[in-house]
C-alpha cells in the first residue's frame, strides 16, 4: 500500500460519517476532504494509515452533478459548514446514507431508515453561536469565529449566513470594543487572557438575544461589568449579558457556573404551542424550527400509539419533550441533573399550565436504578456520547412499551440500538432530521418496541 504514488486521479464513490468523500485505489480506502460523490478529482495523499489514507483535492477534473457554489465566501476556510458545496436535497440523501451505514456497520442492524426531514430554514437557521476568541500578538486585535477545519486556528468571521444577522453585529461590537475596556483575548497555548468564547442565544419567538461572555477566570471584575453593560446598552435586541466562568485547560466551552451582569438571564422560545426559558447553561437545540419537527414527530407518535400513557423524559434538559407531550399523556416524569434547567422546566410547566408533570433534579442513571414505576413510553435524549449500558439496562427494566431514542450521533445511536435489540427490543423505525444544515451531523429519532416482551 505504501508504494501508492502521492498524487493520483480518483472517482469519489461515497461519503463518510465525518464528511469526507470516499475513493478507492489499489484496494485502499481514501478519505478526501472537500469531495462530493460523483467528483473525478486529482488528489494528494496527506496521511497514510495501515488500512486507509487521507487526501486533499489538487484539482477537480469533472465535478459531481451534485456540486454547487457555496453561498458563503468563507466556506473553504471555515470548518463550520463542511457540506455547503453540495446540493441541499442531496445533502439529505447523504445524511440518510450516513445513518444507514452506522446502523449496518456499527449496529449490525438491517434496518430501513426513512428519508431525512429537511430543515425549514437552510440559512439563518442556527440560533446558538459559540465563537472561540483569540488575540493577535502584535496588533492585539481580537479574533472571533469558527475554527479552520482540523485545527484550532480561528477564522475571523465577519458575516455568517447560517445565523441571524444580529449575531454578526453583536460579535463585531465585542471585537471592536473589548480593548477599550481592557478585555484581552484568550491564548490557548499559554492559558492566559480574559475572553475565551462568545456565546449568543437568539430567539425565533421574539428576536431577543442572550449574550454570554466565557472568561478565563472565576469571578467578575469591574472592567468586565462595564463591558457587559456597554453591550447591553448598544443593542435593543440584547435581553441580557451573562458571564460564564471557565478557568480550566479544556476544550469544553462552558464552565459550570454563570452570573448575569445586566438584563435577563434567559430568552424565551416557543416549540409547538409551548413557551420555554433558555439560559446560559441550559441545553436547547440550535435549530428551533427543525427541533419543532422532531418534537411534533414524537408527540404525534405517542398520540397515535398510546392512550393516556405514563411517560418518562430522561436527560430532559428544560423538559421540552416532557412538556410538549404532556397533553397527550396521563402523566410525565422528567429527569435532569442540571439545576438551572430544572428551574426553567418548572417555570415552563407553570407558564404553560401543565399540571401532570413531575420534575426531578438528579442523574438519570441514579433515578433509573431507584425508580419502581413501569412506563409506557421512555424518551431518551442523551448527549452525543450516548447512553451507558447501565442506563440502558435500567431503561429496559422500567419500560413496558416503547423507548423513543433521540440522538445527534448515528454511531452511538447504532451502538445503543444494537444493545437494546440484544435485550429484546424490536427496532420499529429510524427517522433522520436535518438539524445542522450543510454539516455532516444528523439528528435521528428511533423507536424501540419492548411491548412484545410483556406477558
- pLDDT, residue 2, reads 57
- Tell whether 313 and 190 lie within a shared domain: no
Same domain, yes or no, for 170 and 264? yes
User: How many Cα atoms within 13 Å fall on the side-chain side of residue 50?
Assistant: 0
Task: For the chain, give the number of residues.
Answer: 455
pLDDT tens figures, 116-157: 999 999 999 999 999 999 999 999 999 999 998 888 899 999
Co-location of 16 and 150 in the same domain:
no
What percentage of the chain has pLDDT greater than the value 70? Answer: 99
CATH number for the domain that contains residue 297: 3.40.50.150
Query: Residue 410's pLDDT band (boundaries 50, 70, 90)?
Result: very high
Is residue 211, in this structure, part of any structural domain at all? yes
How many angstroms separate the CA atoms of 203 and 269, rounded?
6
Residues 42 and 155 in one domain: no
C-alpha cell at 269: 422560545
The set of cell numbers assigned to 116 is 431525512
453 pLDDT above the threshold of 90: no
pLDDT at 369: 86
155 in a structural domain: yes
* CATH code where residue 41 lies: 2.40.50.140
Residues 6+ apart with CB under 8 A from 146: 78, 79, 80, 131, 132, 154, 155, 157, 160
In a domain, 377, yes or no: yes
Query: Does residue 251 belong to any structural domain of this protein?
Result: yes
Residues 371-400: what's their mean pLDDT? 94
d(CA 410, CA 18): 11
3-state class of 101 per DSSP? helix
Q: State pLDDT tens for residues 44-102.
A: 999 999 899 999 999 999 999 999 999 999 998 998 999 999 999 999 999 999 999 99
The per-residue DSSP string of 19-43 comes to S-EEEEETTEEEEEET--TT-EEEE
Do the strands 52-62 and 28-33 form a parallel or antiparallel pair, or are they unpaired? Answer: parallel
The answer to whether residues 53 and 109 belong to one domain is no
CA distance 66 to 63: 8
Same-domain check for residues 150 and 60: no
The per-residue pLDDT for 368 is: 86
What confidence score (pLDDT) does residue 416 get? 98
* φ and ψ of 228, to 5 deg: -60, -40
Q: Which domain holds residue 258?
A: 128-271
Q: Are 239 and 299 found together in one domain?
A: no
Mean pLDDT computed over every residue of the chain: 95
Distance CA 181, CA 190 (A): 22
Q: State whether 247 and 307 are in the same domain.
A: no
Structural domain contains residue 78: no
Q: Are 292 and 302 in contact (CB under 8 A)?
A: no
Chain center to CA of 163: 14
The answer to whether the CB of 266 falls within 8 A of the CB of 277 is yes
Judgement on whether residues 141 and 115 belong to the same structural domain of the protein: no
Same domain, 116 and 132: no
**How many whole angstroms separate alpha carbon 42 and alpha carbon 53?**
15
Is 366 a member of any domain? yes
Please pick, among 81, 399, 408, 437, the residue that the annotation labels catalytic. 408
- Cell numbers found for residue 120: 425549514
**Residue 365 — very low, low, confident or very high, per pLDDT cuts 50/70/90?**
confident
Q: Is residue 79 part of a domain?
A: no
Neighbours of 355 (CB within 10 A): 9
Is 98 within 8 Å of 410 (Cβ atoms)? yes
Q: Minimal CA–CA distance to 40: which of 65, 3, 10, 76?
A: 10
85 occurs within a structural domain = no
Last residue of some domain: 236, 271, 306? 271
Residues above pLDDT 90, as percent of the chain:
93
pLDDT score recorded for residue 79: 84
pLDDT digits (tens, 9 = 90+) for 267-319: 999 999 999 999 999 989 999 999 999 999 999 999 999 999 999 999 999 99
CA pair distance 219, 12, nearest whole angstrom = 52
Same domain for 214 and 336? Answer: no
C-alpha to C-alpha distance for 211 and 405, rounded to whole angstroms: 31
- pLDDT tens sequence across 206-251: 999 999 999 999 999 999 999 999 999 999 999 999 999 999 999 9
pLDDT at 455 over 80: no
Q: Are residues 110 and 47 in the same domain?
A: no
CATH number, position 241? 2.40.50.1070
271, 301, 321 — which closes off a domain? 271
Active site residue 408: yes
**DSSP string across 320-369:** HHHHHTGGGSSEEEEEES-HHHHHHHHHHHHHTT--SEEEEES-HHHHHH
Please count the structural domains in the chain: 3
Amino acid at each position: 500500500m505504501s508504494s501508492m504514488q502521492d498524487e493520483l486521479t480518483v472517482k469519489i464513490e461515497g461519503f463518510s460519517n465525518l464528511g469526507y468523500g470516499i475513493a478507492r485505489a489499489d484496494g485502499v480506502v481514501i478519505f478526501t476532504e472537500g469531495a462530493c460523490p460523483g467528483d473525478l478529482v486529482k488528489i494528494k495523499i496527506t496521511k497514510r494509515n495501515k488500512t486507509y489514507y487521507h487526501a486533499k483535492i489538487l484539482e477537480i477534473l469533472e465535478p459531481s452533478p451534485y456540486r454547487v457554489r457555496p453561498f458563503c465566501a468563507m466556506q473553504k476556510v471555515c470548518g463550520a459548514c463542511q457540506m455547503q458545496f453540495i446540493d441541499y436535497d442531496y445533502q439529505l440523501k447523504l445524511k440518510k446514507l450516513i445513518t444507514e451505514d452506522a446502523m449496518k456497520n456499527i449496529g449490525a442492524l438491517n434496518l430501513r431508515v426513512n428519508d431525512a426531514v429537511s430543515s425549514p430554514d437552510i440559512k439563518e437557521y442556527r440560533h446558538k453561536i459559540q465563537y472561540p476568541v483569540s488575540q493577535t500578538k502584535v496588533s492585539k486585535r481580537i479574533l472571533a469565529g469558527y475554527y479552520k477545519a482540523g485545527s484550532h486556528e480561528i477564522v475571523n468571521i465577519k458575516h455568517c449566513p447560517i445565523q441571524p444577522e444580529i449575531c454578526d453585529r453583536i460579535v463585531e461590537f465585542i471585537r471592536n470594543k473589548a480593548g477599550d475596556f481592557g478585555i484581552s483575548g484568550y491564548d490557548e497555548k499559554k492559558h492566559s487572557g480574559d475572553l475565551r468564547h462568545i456565546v449568543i442565544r437568539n430567539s425565533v419567538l421574539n428576536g431577543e438575544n442572550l449574550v454570554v461572555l466565557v472568561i478565563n477566570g472565576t469571578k467578575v471584575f469591574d472592567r468586565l461589568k462595564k463591558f457587559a453593560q456597554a453591550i447591553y446598552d448598544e443593542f435593543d435586541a440584547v435581553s441580557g449579558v451573562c458571564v460564564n466562568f471557565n478557568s480550566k485547560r479544556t476544550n469544553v466551552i462552558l464552565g459550570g457556573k454563570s452570573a448575569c451582569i445586566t438584563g435577563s438571564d434567559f430568552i424565551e422560545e416557543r416549540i409547538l404551542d409551548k413557551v420555554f426559558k433558555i439560559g446560559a447553561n441550559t441545553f436547547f437545540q440550535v435549530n428551533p424550527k427543525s427541533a419543532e419537527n422532531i418534537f411534533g414527530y414524537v408527540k404525534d407518535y405517542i398520540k397515535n400509539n398510546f392512550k393516556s400513557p405514563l411517560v418518562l423524559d430522561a436527560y430532559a434538559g428544560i423538559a421540552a419533550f416532557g412538556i410538549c407531550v404532556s397533553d397527550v399523556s396521563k402523566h410525565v416524569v422528567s429527569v435532569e441533573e442540571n439545576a438551572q434547567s430544572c428551574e426553567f422546566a418548572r417555570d415552563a410547566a407553570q407558564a404553560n399550565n401543565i399540571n401532570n408533570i413531575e420534575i426531578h433534579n438528579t442523574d438519570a442513571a441514579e433515578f433509573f436504578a431507584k425508580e419502581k414505576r413501569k412506563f409506557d413510553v421512555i424518551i431518551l435524549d442523551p448527549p452525543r456520547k450516548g447512553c451507558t449500558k447501565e442506563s440502558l439496562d435500567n431503561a429496559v427494566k422500567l419500560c413496558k412499551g416503547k423507548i423513543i431514542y433521540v440522538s445527534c450521533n448515528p454511531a452511538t445511536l447504532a451502538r445503543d440500538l444494537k444493545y437494546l435489540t440484544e435485550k429484546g427490543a424490536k427496532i420499529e423505525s429510524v427517522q433522520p432530521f436535518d438539524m445542522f444544515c450543510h454539516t455532516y451531523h444528523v439528528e435521528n429519532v428511533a423507536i424501540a418496541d419492548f411491548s412484545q416482551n410483556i406477558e
